Amino acid sequence: MTNVLNRRELMRRAVAGSTLLTVPGILAACGGSSTESSGSDGDKTLAKTLRFSNWTYYIDVDEKTKKRPTLDMFKKKTGTTVRYIEDINDNSSYFGKIQGPLSRGQSIDRDLIVMTDNTRYPSLLIKKGWVEKLDKSAIPNIKNLQGALAHPNWDENRDYSLPWQSGMTGIAYNDKLTDPVLSMDDLLENPKLKGKITLLNEMGDAMSLVMLANGDDPAKVTDATFDKALKRIQKAVDSGQVRQFTGNDYTGPLAKGDLSACMAWSGDVVQLQPDNPNLHWNLAETGGDIWTDNMLIPKGANVYTASVYMNFVYDPKIAALIEAYINYICPVKGAREEMLKIDPSLAKNTLIFPTDKMLDNVVIFDAAALSNQKYLEAWQNLISA
Amino acid sequence: MGFLHRNRGLSPYLLLAPGLLYLALFFLVPLGFLAYQSLQSGTFDVGYAFDWAWGNYWDAIRNYRGHFIRSLQYAGIATLLALLLGYPLAYWIAFRGGRWKNLLLLFIVAPFFVTYLIRTLAWETILADQGPVVGFLRDIGVLGSDGRVLATSTAVVAGITYNFFPFMALPLYVSLEQIDQRLIEAAQDLYASKWKAFLRVTLPLSLPGVVAGTLLTFIPAAGDFINAQLLGSPRTHMIGNVIQSKFLELTDYPAAASMSFVLMAAILLMVAIYARVVGTEKLTG
C-alpha cells in the first residue's frame, strides 16, 4: 500500500466534515428564489444563494456521495449555498434562452454563467450591456490569472469576465466499435463510420478542425477556406456519415455505444473513462482548436456574491481540486503545484498540462469570422437542414 | 340580476367575454406581433426594423421548401399510422371494454403524465444502437447487421406517431362510444353482414372522431421539432427545427416569423382540402 491518497479518497475526506452542513443548504436551495437578493452596486453583503449555470461534466463531483466538494467548501467558508445548474449544452441555445429576458431588462435568475470565447456570445453580451462588471475589490486572487489569458481582445482588462477553464477540441472514439480514429479524414469519410459519428454544433470548433484537415488556417478565415470546409461537411451530411450535430450532449450516445467516434472536448472523455474504459480522446493528426470558457455575471445578478465565488475558485488550492477531477486546462497560476501535492501522477496528465507539442498543434479560431452573419447563417443552415 | 334580466340580449356576450378576451390576448395579439415581425429586416446586432420585407416569405419558401414538404409528409404518415393503430384500439375499448373501459383509457393516457421531452429521450434509450430492441431486429433480419433505427426517418415518424397517439385515440373513442348499439343490431336484423354493418353504420357515425383526431394529430405534428432533433439526423430535420434554430440560435426573428406563417398557411391549405374531401359537416358531427 502506498501512502498517496488518490484524488477521490482525498476529496471524500475533505467533504466528510462539511456533509452535515450541506443538508440545510440543499433545503435552502429548494426554497426557490424568494431569499435571493437582486444585485445592486456596492452592496457588499453575501446572498444566501448563488445561482450558477454551467456545462455538464465541468465541476468536481464526489463519486460516492454525488456531492460537489468545492461547492460544499464554499458554503462552509461563506455560508452561501451554490445552486449549481447544469443547463448549458451549447452556447447558441443557451444564449437564445437568456437573450429574451436580458433584452427586456429582466433578470435571468442566475448570478454566474459560463460562455465560450470561440463563439460571438461573450463579446456580444458585453456589447449589449447585458453583463455586470466584476467587483474586483472582492477578487484579490485575480493576480493568479494566467498571463496569457489576461487580455482577450473582447474584454481587454477582464472587467467583465474571468476564465473558468480552457480546453481543446479533438476526436473521441470507442475502441470496442472501431479502429482508432485519429484524423478528420477518417471521421468524415471512412465508410465504416457511416452514421456513427457526430460533429459539434459550435461553428468555431467544427470549422477549425475541418479547415486544419484541409490545410487551411482557421485563425484567418477567408470566404474560400470557409466554403471549402463547409462543402466538405455538407458532403459528409449528405452521405449520411454525420449522425447529428451536438452540444455537450454527445457524451450520452458516446458512452452508450451509439457513436463509434465524434468530435469531443478534451476533459469530458476522461470523466467518462472510469465507467467506459473503451473511450479515448486525441487531438486530430492535423490539429485542433483551443478555447476558453468564461464566467460572466448577467444583469440583475448579485455581483458581490458572484465575485466572491470567483475569488474562491481562483485560490490555487480550490482550482486544483476542481482540475484534478475535470481534466481541463486550468487558468489559475499555482494550481499545478497544489495539484502535485494531491497526486503527483496528475503532472503527467497532458489534458491538464498539455505538452508543447500539443500546444503547437492547436489554434484559436478567427474572432472576426465568429460574428460574420453570412458565415453564421451558412453554418446554421448546414446543421439544422 | 336585475341588470341581466332587463338586458337578456347581453348575457351570451357576457358569457363569451372571458373566452374571447383570452383568445384576443393570447392568440390574436401574439399573432399580430408575429406578422409584424415577419416583415422586418435588419440584424440582431443592430436591431430589426419594420419595412414591409416580403422577401422574408419568398426566402422562406425558396430556401426551405424541402423542409416544408418533409414536415407535411412526416406529419401525414404519422397521422395515418396513428389512425390505423388507434381505430381498432378505440373500437375495442368502446365496444368490448366493458367495466375495464376507464382503466384501459387510463393506460393510453398514462405515459403522458411524463413530459414530452423525457418520453422522447426514453425512446432514444430504447432504440439505442447497442440496445436490445435493435439487437432483436437485427437477429430476425429486419435490420442489416449494421442497421440502426435511431437517426433515421423511421425513428422520427415513429416518435411523432407515439407522441401524438392519444390525440387520435381519445376523440375516436368518444365518437365510437356514443354510437347507439341498437343501430348496429338493426342493420344486422336487416341482413347486413358484420362487415357491412361496420362500413354502413359504425364507420360513418365515427367520422367526426376520425376528423377531430386527424386534425389534432396532424396540425401539431407538422410543426414538431423535438422528435426530429432527438431521434433524427440532419437529413431528417423538419421545418420546426429550422424555425427553432432561426429563433433561438441565429436570433433571426423575421426569418423565423415568416416561416411560421408559411407553415401555418400550408397546414390551413391541407386542412381545407381535407375538409372538402370529407365534408365539412363531419367536422362538427
Closest chain B residue to A199, measured at CA: B234
Nearest residue to A206 via CA among A250, A164, A251, A246 = A246
Q: Which residue has the higher pLDDT, B45 or A311?
A: A311
Residue B2 pLDDT grade (very low, low, confident, very high; cuts 50, 70, 90): low
Interface list for B 92-131 with A (CB within 8 A)? 125, 128-131
- Residue A196 near chain B (CB below 8 Å): yes
Write out chain B residues lying below 8 Å of A199, CB-based. Answer: none
How is residue B24 annotated by DSSP?
I
Residue pLDDT, tens place only, B222-239: 999 999 999 999 999 999
Higher pLDDT: B78 or A384? It is: B78
Provide the pLDDT confidence category of residue B206 given band limits of 50, 70 and 90. very high
A373 at B interface, C-beta within 8 A: yes
How do the residues of chain A divide into helix, strand and coil, expressed in percent and rounded to 5? 45, 20, 40
Q: What percent of chain A has pLDDT over 70?
A: 89
**Cell representation of residue B282:** 363531419
Whether residues A371 and B45 touch (CB distance < 8 A) is answered with: yes
Which 8-state DSSP code applies to residue A154? T
Judged against a pLDDT cut of 70, whether residue A86 lies above it is answered with: yes
How much is the pLDDT for B145?
A: 80
B148 touches chain A (CB under 8 A): yes
Question: Do residues A66 and A26 lie in contact, with contact meaning Cβ atoms separated by under 8 Å?
Answer: no
Report the distance separating Cα B168 and Cα A313, nearest Å: 54
Strand partners, B182: none
ipTM over 0.95: no
Nearest CA in chain A to B152: A243
Going by pLDDT thresholds of 50, 70 and 90, the confidence category of residue B3 is low
Secondary structure element (H or E) that encloses residue A86, with its range: strand A81-88
- Does A380 contact B130 at a Cβ distance shorter than 8 Å? no
- pLDDT score, position A33: 38
- pLDDT tens, position by position, A40-55: 456 789 999 999 999 9
Maximum separation of any 2 CA atoms in chain A, in Å: 61
Q: Residue A337: name the closest of A144, A138, A73, A164 by CA.
A: A144
pLDDT exceeds 90 at position B52: yes
pLDDT of A119 reads 94
Tell me: the pLDDT tens digits for B258-274?
A: 999 999 999 999 999 99
pLDDT of amino acid A349: 85
Does residue A16 surpass a pLDDT of 80? no
A290 phi and psi angles, rounded to 5 deg: -120, 140
Return mean pLDDT, chain B: 91
What would the pLDDT profile of A241-278 be if each residue is shown by its tens digit? 999 999 999 999 999 999 999 999 998 998 898 899 99
| Residues of chain A contacting B128 with CB distance shorter than 8 Å | 253, 256-258
Is the model's pLDDT at B280 over the cut of 70?
Answer: no
Cβ distance of B251 and A99 shorter than 8 Å: yes
Give phi and psi for B23, each to the nearest 5: -65, -40
Rounded-to-integer distance, Cα A256 and Cα B150, Å: 13
Nearest to B245 among A127, A253, A380 (CB): A380
pLDDT of residue B251: 86
B153 to chain A, any CB pair closer than 8 A? The answer is: no
The distance of Cα A56 from the centroid of its chain, to the nearest Å, equals 8
Residue A96 contacts B, CB cutoff 8 Å: yes
A103 in contact with B, Cβ within 8 Å: no
pTM: 0.84
CB contact under 8 A, A385 and B237: yes
* In the predicted structure, residue B285 carries a pLDDT above the cut 80: no
SS3 state of residue A49: strand
Helices (H), A264-328: 266-272, 303-313, 316-326
Mean of all residue pLDDT scores within chain A: 88
The whole-number pLDDT of residue B10 equals 83
**CB-based contact A385 B250, cutoff 8 Å:** no
C-beta separation of A279 from A167 below 8 A: no
Per-residue pLDDT tens digits for A322-352: 998 999 999 999 998 898 888 888 877 888 8
Q: What is the pLDDT of residues A160-186, one digit of tens each?
A: 999 999 999 999 999 999 999 999 999
Q: Does B247 touch chain A (CB under 8 A)?
A: yes
Q: Which of the given ranges, A298-312, A363-377, B140-154, has the highest pLDDT on average? A: A298-312
Determine whether the interchain pair B130/A376 forms a contact, defined as Cβ–Cβ distance below 8 Å: no
DSSP annotation of A47: P
Instruction: Point out the residue among B45, B241, B249 whose CB comes nearest to the CB of A96.
Output: B249
pLDDT of residue B283: 56
**Strands of chain B, DSSP E:** 40-43, 47-50
Q: Do A242 and B233 touch (CB under 8 A)?
A: yes
Query: Does the beta carbon of B245 lie under 8 angstroms from any beta carbon of chain A?
Result: yes
Check CB contact under 8 Å for B235 and A238: yes
Grid cell 454527445 is found at: A250
CA-based nearest distance A205→chain B, Å: 16
CB pairs under 8 A between A and B: 73
Average pLDDT over residues A78-104: 93
* pLDDT confidence tier of residue B147, bands split at 50, 70 and 90: confident
Closest Cα in chain B, distance from residue A221 (Å): 20
Cβ contact (<8 Å) for B234 and A383? Answer: yes
Which range is least confidently modeled, A32-46, A85-99, A364-378, B235-249? Answer: A32-46
C-alpha to C-alpha distances, B213 to A17, A77, B43, B205, B208, nearest whole angstrom: 59, 59, 41, 14, 8
If one compares A318 and B45, the residue with the highest pLDDT of the two is A318
Q: What is the average pLDDT across A62-81?
A: 94
Q: Do A243 and B233 touch (CB under 8 A)?
A: yes
Indicate if the pLDDT at residue A14 is higher than 50.
no
- C-alpha grid cell for residue A299? 444583469
- Selected residues 48-87 of chain A with any CB under 8 Å from a CB in chain B: none
> Which residue in chain B has the smallest CA separation from A123?
B45
A240 lies within 8 A of chain B by CB: yes
Cell numbers given for A289: 482548436
d(CA A375, CA A380): 8
- Checking if the pLDDT of B279 tops 90, the result is no
Tell me how far the alpha carbon of residue B130 is from its chain's centroid: 31
Task: Say whether pLDDT at B102 is over 60.
Answer: yes
What confidence score (pLDDT) does residue A7 get? 45
> What tens digit of pLDDT does each residue of A230-245 get?
999 999 999 999 999 9
Which of the residues A188, A258, A377 would you substitute to probe the B interface, choosing the one with the greatest number of B C-beta atoms within 10 Å?
A258
Using the predicted structure, report yes or no on whether residue B31 has a pLDDT greater than 70.
Answer: yes
Residue A94 with chain B: CB contacts under 8 Å: none
Are the CB atoms for A317 and A236 separated by under 8 Å?
no
